[in-house]
Structure 1
Amino acid sequence: MFRALQSRNYRLFFVGQGISLIGTWMQQIALSWLVYRLTDSVFLLGAVTFSSQIPSFLLGPFAGVAADKFDRHKVLVVTQSLSMLQASTLAVLVLTDTIEIWHILALSAVLGVINAFDISTRQAFVFELVEKREDISNAIALNSSMFNMARLVGPTIAGLIIAVVGEGICILINAVSYIAVLASLLMMQLKPFERATQQRKAWQSLKDGFQYAFGFPPIRALITIVALLSLFGMPFSVLLPVFARDILHGGANTLGYLMGASGFGALAGAMFLAQRKSVVGLGKIIVGMMILFGSSLIAFSFSTMLVLSLLLMLFSGFGMIVSMASCNTLLQTIVDDDKRGRVMSLYATAFMGMAPIGSMLAGAVAEHIGVGYTLAGCGLLCAVSIVPFAVSLPRLRQMVWPIYERLGIVPEIATGLQSASNLTAPPEER
């Protein structure tokens, strides 16, 4: 279960990222609560999320090309250092009580640009850290578990700290947590970076990647599912502060509990996928989990009881992560090796890029019809959007079956391909 940790570089990466991700989730909860406390505006909650994630939509494909061209280790040192500077600046503004909403929007946009390059590079960098290639799938599964464990722990701690000392300390803790990941990067012993002698122009590489991804129906379908899930489903996290304060009549700790319940469900989903040894049947699982996710959001939107809301958040987190990671697994299995980076950057763009658009739309709609009906509509759209995929599933399965045969993963799936998923973490998804 933890065999990838035998590789020293990956072990350093795992520990450093684990500490930093807890800080990242603490800052995210603190920032959401701060914005809603300062403005009482659901629209501005969506606007902050939009400004932090739209750069991934615009820059994601270019970042994927950059991740294949430059030394990934050095790129990550730069991106993590800049993220630490961003968090430190935000912490100073909050702790000195000089923070204004435009500061939050501007600094969120800066972090979005940094993350656009960090996410693509970090996904590709994992392959350099594992000494045995057969352990790569295990490393990816551990990454997902680490991400969702941080998602469980971070919001819970943040909710308690905000209730006692305010949002600024949470953001300061996040800034300090970057020391761990920077130290882990600097302690690694890596092979010297070798630049490819012949490289195609960035624009031509992008064009080839788009033609390949969207010209093959199974890949196109999987990326479309991720985009729709991110567009209609991800806004639920933006609306949670409103549910925590105005519907469940709680405080920041209630928000932390809701996010923690969602994280616990996502962690359970990641462990469920990590135990699978076959990609066969994931198509049906995607259909079922999308329906579970959408139904949970609809039920949550009408809940006024904290216990019931926590249970529904757990189911929604489970359905969300299994849907996302299953799409990732299938993509990793059927994509050609020489186009893997570009296809996965499109996956990351669909995941991170559509979320801010959905957040802005959900925030604007909620201002007019209320958060309850808005979230119910989001859940319904999630459940309905999977219908075309479910109808075309037999045809798509016929298209990917020759790939399975060529790779030797049918009738029995090779161990090395088990659960080659959860690469995003994406920040959201990854």
Structure 2
Amino acid sequence: MTQSAAIHKATYHLYTFTISKLISTFGSSVYTFGISLYVLALTGSAANFAINLIFSILPRTVLAPFAGYAADKYSKKTIVIVSQLASALAVGALLLYSASVGLSLPAIYTTTALLSVSSMFASVTFSASIANLIDPERIQKAIGFNQSALSIAAIGGPVVGGMLFGFVSMNVFLLIQIAGYLLALLLEATMNFKLFSAKIEAAADDKKSMMQSMKEGVAYLKTNRVIMVIVSTAIGLNFFFSALMIGLPFIAVQQMKVEAVHFGFIEAMVAVGMLLASIYFSVRKEVKYPLLFSKRALFAMSIILAGLALPLMLDMSYRANVLYFIVLMFAFGISNVFVNTPIGVMMQKDVEEEYRGRVFGILESMAMAMMPLGYLLFGLLYDSVPGEYVVLGSSLCLIGLVAYMIRPNIIREAYPELAAVLQKKPVH
């Protein structure tokens, strides 16, 4: 294929990838919201709602490394297509069960777990495929488009899910979900997942066991210190930002008595901030020093986390509290993308193709594993310690983590040319 033809195909991938990602993530958001409403309406139990959430997280945590192995070992296109087909079949089975017997909690939990596994295989494989689908000059644009799709799904999914739940039967709701998965599958079937691949298949690789291959992925991480730092920092980041995920509803609703409708708007501002920041990255030139850029954004996120304590420490009016939380969550959404997008581009370019799936699989598994632990720990802390102490302490810990993990010698190792420039630059 000529260079011009490859660039033309990459342009097709850029928009097809974005549309398919929007359809699948939007569908998942609609399903999650709608089925959660159904569980609450069916049982009236928050515990049953929480169990459904656990079934959506636990399989991803356990199986993500295996998805990474599969992405490196087998055809990425096949994995993505089979994953989307599995999602459609899982919802289809739930639809048949609902039509013949009626929905039950075990059926819903089983479908949620199956969708978690299939969507995780597709997500990890797509993450490992971006540099194969898109030319290097437009990887940042692709990741920006991807973040935009996620943000639109986060904003619109609950709205559409709530409307469908109120106006159509659950069977029609599930049928729409199946149609979305199949449409995404058709789009992805037209993509060339080897367009910019430099991978050379080796016969020796076929003789390696799965455990040997996965150990190789871990060993690769250990030899690439900069990537190891990124993965380790992401794990700590997910843990400490559980303080925000638990603290925001606890402080805003429980302690500041923010009404549910206003709190919904506050949470939506995270996605709005992410959307605007994603659009910004899709049109600006690539960040020159992504690790340094993301380090500064992480410090900003730490300050935003500490900002949750302000309404507890100052006597502010109800309107001022709501406006403050809106601005704070909007800023959090922006800083989230400012951290993730440059690092995403860096990992696409710096992680060797033959290890990319396993690295993203390990990252997904470890980051997801920290979420239940963080939810449990910070849930207990908010019940026993004043909220302002929890968020301020978490913020300080996060600042210390970032300062240590992405310390100056790591920056110099990642960008030797930057160190040379700084040495020549006079200090004022």
Do the aligned partners of residues 176 and 82 (structure 1) sit closer, same or farther apart at CA in structure 2, a change above 3 Å counting? same
Map Cα deviations across residues 181-200 of structure 1 (whole Å, 9 max, x no partner): 11102333566998542314
Do the aligned partners of residues 207 and 190 (structure 1) sit closer, same or farther apart at CA in structure 2, a change above 3 Å counting? closer
Q: What are the residue-to-residue correspondences of 1:241-252 with 2, within 5 Å?
A: 248-250=258-260
- Give the distance between the partners of 1:143 and 1:234, measured in 2 at CA: 24
Q: What are the residue-to-residue correspondences of 1:254-269 with 2, within 5 Å?
A: 257-269=265-277
The 3-state SS of whatever aligns with 1:188 is coil
Structure 2 gap segments, 5+ residues each: 1-6, 422-428
Q: Is 1:154 equivalent to 2:168 in the alignment?
A: no
Match of 1:289 among 297, 300, 313: 300
- Give the distance between the partners of 1:112 and 1:376, measured in 2 at CA: 34
1:389 aligned partner: 401
Q: Which amino acid aligns with 1:67?
A: A
1:428 aligned partner: none
- Give the distance between the partners of 1:297 and 1:168, measured in 2 at CA: 41
Contact 2:270 2:332 in 1 (8 A): yes
Q: Which amino acid aligns with 1:227?
A: I
Q: Is 1:369 equivalent to 2:383 in the alignment?
A: yes
Do the aligned partners of residues 293 and 180 (structure 1) sit closer, same or farther apart at CA in structure 2, a change above 3 Å counting? farther
Match of 2:338 among 297, 301, 322: 322
Match of 1:28 among 24, 29, 32: 32
Percent identical among aligned pairs is: 22
Structure 1 gap segments, 5+ residues each: 413-430
1:103 aligned partner: 107
2:84 aligned partner: 80
1:71 aligned partner: 75
Contact 2:226 2:414 in 1 (8 A): no
- Give the distance between the partners of 2:156 and 2:386, measured in 1 at CA: 28
Q: Is 1:226 equivalent to 2:234 in the alignment?
A: yes
Which shifted more, 211-220 or 67-76? 211-220
Instruction: State how many pairs are aligned.
Output: 400
- Give the distance between the partners of 1:179 and 1:237, measured in 2 at CA: 33
Map Cα deviations across residues 352-386 of structure 1 (whole Å, 9 max, x no partner): 333344445667x49x939xx89877745652332
Contact 2:293 2:339 in 1 (8 A): no
Which shifted more, 180-189 or 375-384? 375-384
1:416 aligned partner: none
Contact 1:235 1:355 in 2 (8 A): no
- Give the distance between the partners of 2:298 and 2:248, measured in 1 at CA: 25
> Highest Rg: 1 or 2?
2
- Give the distance between the partners of 2:92 and 2:245, measured in 1 at CA: 24
- Give the distance between the partners of 1:145 and 1:205, measured in 2 at CA: 34
Q: Which amino acid aligns with 1:268?
A: L
Match of 1:278 among 288, 311, 330: 288
Contact 1:156 1:257 in 2 (8 A): no
Q: Which amino acid aligns with 2:338?
A: V
Contact 1:10 1:126 in 2 (8 A): no
Q: Is 1:142 equivalent to 2:145 in the alignment?
A: yes
Contact 1:61 1:206 in 2 (8 A): yes
- Give the distance between the partners of 1:86 and 1:374, measured in 2 at CA: 44
- Give the distance between the partners of 2:210 and 2:365, measured in 1 at CA: 17
2:127 aligned partner: 123
Could you state the TM-score of these two structures normalised by the residue count of structure 2?
Answer: 0.75
Match of 1:198 among 179, 198, 204: 204
Contact 2:72 2:356 in 1 (8 A): no
Q: Is 1:8 equivalent to 2:15 in the alignment?
A: no
Q: Is 1:342 equivalent to 2:347 in the alignment?
A: no
Alpha-carbon offset, residue 218 of structure 1: 4.1
Which shifted more, 183-192 or 67-76? 183-192
- Give the distance between the partners of 1:398 and 1:353, measured in 2 at CA: 29
Q: Which amino acid aligns with 1:153?
A: G
The 3-state SS of whatever aligns with 2:69 is helix
The 3-state SS of whatever aligns with 2:146 is helix
Contact 1:290 1:382 in 2 (8 A): no
Do the aligned partners of residues 201 and 355 (structure 1) sit closer, same or farther apart at CA in structure 2, a change above 3 Å counting? same
2:61 aligned partner: 57
Which shifted more, 90-99 or 193-202? 90-99
